[in-house]
């Protein structure tokens, strides 16, 4: 199967995780970072999940799952160590038209989670379409060596420039030329070398707008 690549907006969306082990913990942390409202359903939790529940970061239902638990979910993640339970969760979730991911069983998923590199707002996702998560992790580690934290800073800078260019320049063609020029310039190198004054000067020269306010 070939999957359609997509990024989900999970801000304030309900994500239900069934299972309270380490896989559930890892997925809960990722979902929280994306702004989801996380509910974990499991008789037991890892220490970190227990801490998150006590702190109010996640909601914990201390019991086994029930079919009604899926009704309000935008996203369902089955992480139990019971394959039959996971299969039933997936069947019911898909019947209710919910997004569902089953740990280590891509055939029962209608969405799968890639291996991810995050550098600020720069997100690079690697997927092997469920064929080999180990290979996806290997590729991710290789990419991590090539894309350092400076890419996140550069993207933040580009976002500021784009916002002001779009607000002040009506011509789409001119905006495109300016933004392509910013990306193609030596700004990334200057930023990585910490030459903030030169970064400001270079942006003003490329963009050509008076009163351009960019925080480096």
What lies within 8 Å, CB to CB, of 173 at 6+ separation is none
For residues 60 and 73, membership in a common domain is answered with: yes
Structure confidence at residue 76 (pLDDT): 98
For residues 171 and 143, membership in a common domain is answered with: no
For residues 169 and 196, membership in a common domain is answered with: yes
Across the chain, which has 216 residues, the per-10-residue mean pLDDT values are 88 98 96 97 98 98 96 96 95 96 90 91 92 93 93 93 92 94 93 88 86 78
Establish if 7 belongs to a structural domain.
Answer: no
Establish if 212 belongs to a structural domain.
Answer: no
Any idea what the CATH number is for the domain that residue 118 is in?
A: 3.30.160
Structure confidence at residue 204 (pLDDT): 87
Establish if 215 belongs to a structural domain.
Answer: no
Structure confidence at residue 152 (pLDDT): 93
Structure confidence at residue 5 (pLDDT): 87
Number of domains in the chain: 3
Q: How far apart are CA 121 and CA 139, in angstroms?
A: 20
What lies within 8 Å, CB to CB, of 7 at 6+ separation is 123, 125
For residues 142 and 184, membership in a common domain is answered with: no
Establish if 33 belongs to a structural domain.
Answer: yes
Helix (H, G, I), strand (E, B) or coil at 16: strand
Q: Give me the domain span that covers residue 50.
A: 14-111
For residues 40 and 58, membership in a common domain is answered with: yes
Helix (H, G, I), strand (E, B) or coil at 152: helix
């Amino acid at each position: 199967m070939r999957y359609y690549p997509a990024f989900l907006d999970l801000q304030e969306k309900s994500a239900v995780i069934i299972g309270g082990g380490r896989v559930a913990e890892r997925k809960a942390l990722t979902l929280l970072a994306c702004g989801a409202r996380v509910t974990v359903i499991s008789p037991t939790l890892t220490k970190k999940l227990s801490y998150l529940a006590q702190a109010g970061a996640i909601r914990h239902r201390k019991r086994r799952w029930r079919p009604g638990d899926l009704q309000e979910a935008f996203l369902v993640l089955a992480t139990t160590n019971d394959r039959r339970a996971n299969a039933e969760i997936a069947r019911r979730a898909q019947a209710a038209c919910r997004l569902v991911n089953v740990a280590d069983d891509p055939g029962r998923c209608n969405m799968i989670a890639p291996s991810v590199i995050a550098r600020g707002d720069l997100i690079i996702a690697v997927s092997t379409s469920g064929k080999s998560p180990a290979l996806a992790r290997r590729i991710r580690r290789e990419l991590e060596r090539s894309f350092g934290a400076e890419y996140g800073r550069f993207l933040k800078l580009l976002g500021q420039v784009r916002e002001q260019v779009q607000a002040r320049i009506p011509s789409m063609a001119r905006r495109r030329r300016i933004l392509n020029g910013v990306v193609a310039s030596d700004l990334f190198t200057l930023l990585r070398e910490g030459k903030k004054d030169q970064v400001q000067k270079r942006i003003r020269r490329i963009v050509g707008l008076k009163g351009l306010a960019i925080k480096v």
